[in-house]
Amino acid sequence: MNQDDPKTLVSTDWLATHLKDPDLRILDASWFLPGSDRDAKAEYDAAHIPGARFFDIDDVSDNRSDLPHMVPPVEKFMSRLRAMGVGDGHQVVVYDSQGLFSAARVWWLFKLMGQNDIAVLDGGLPKWQAEGRETEDLPPVIRDRHMTVRRQNQLVKDVTQVSAAAKLQDTEILDARAAIRFRGEAPEPRPGLRAGHIPGSKNVPYTTLLNEDGTMKAPAELRAVFEAAGVDLGKPAITSCGSGVTAAILNLALTVIGKDDHSLYDGSWSEWGQFPTLPVATGEH
């Protein structure tokens, strides 16, 4: 059991205790891979944790980019969050409907925007519902709240920076995708992408960091998972995945074990896998 930390992970017990706090804001950041035949907004409308607002990862993004849900411009982030009634002085808890899948992306996005009072609900909606806790289908009452954003550029990397890191080998590049995608043995969910991984990167499938119930493993176990994957925790880390969503689970886990020199490759494989000029490795290494 992880200790409740309002800056990383909180338990369903913690959330239930604080549910009526006036400065608590809950976000449902459920999101599904293309082709999953699930509609996150419809599921939110049918049942969500009381007071939760729906955070649409595809909408709160940079629509000028051809890549999926890239980091939005600061102004867009501020205006979207204001419309959700989330701002300065709020403690935010974000969850998703798969346990721990897309919520960490929103946690990371808040950190990138200089907002630290945000935690992921450990085990998410499935754990909340399994414990028989209440949900509702009512829209939340929204009151505007200004948000001050101070973008932390060191938390995000672009393709040029990742390419340089791969060449220099001074940074661990961690890939959160399933092993068969990392090795190049399974097709990518997005068409037109090559199969394989960034040369020199290490495979830490995000599922290896989670317990059966979708909660995150304890810090000592997380550390062991990274070490078993050959990760040198003494080096800075860049996380990657298919499109920058599950990579953030690795960033969350690294933060939980007390490591703070890590960033996320926003374009991830959706970007790297489409450029014929970038090298691709297959197999285990």
DSSP track, 76-125 = HHHHHHHHTT--TT-EEEEE-TTSSSSHHHHHHHHHHTT---EEEETTHH
In whole angstroms, what is the distance from residue 68 CA to residue 59 CA? 10
Q: What is the dihedral sign for C-alpha 46, 48, 53, 55?
A: negative
Active site residues: 241
**Percent of residues in the chain assigned helix, strand, coil, to nearest 5:** 30, 15, 55
Residue 215 tokens read as: 């909660």
Query: Do the Cβ atoms of 281 and 198 come closer than 8 Å?
Result: yes
Query: Do the Cβ atoms of 119 and 107 come closer than 8 Å?
Result: yes
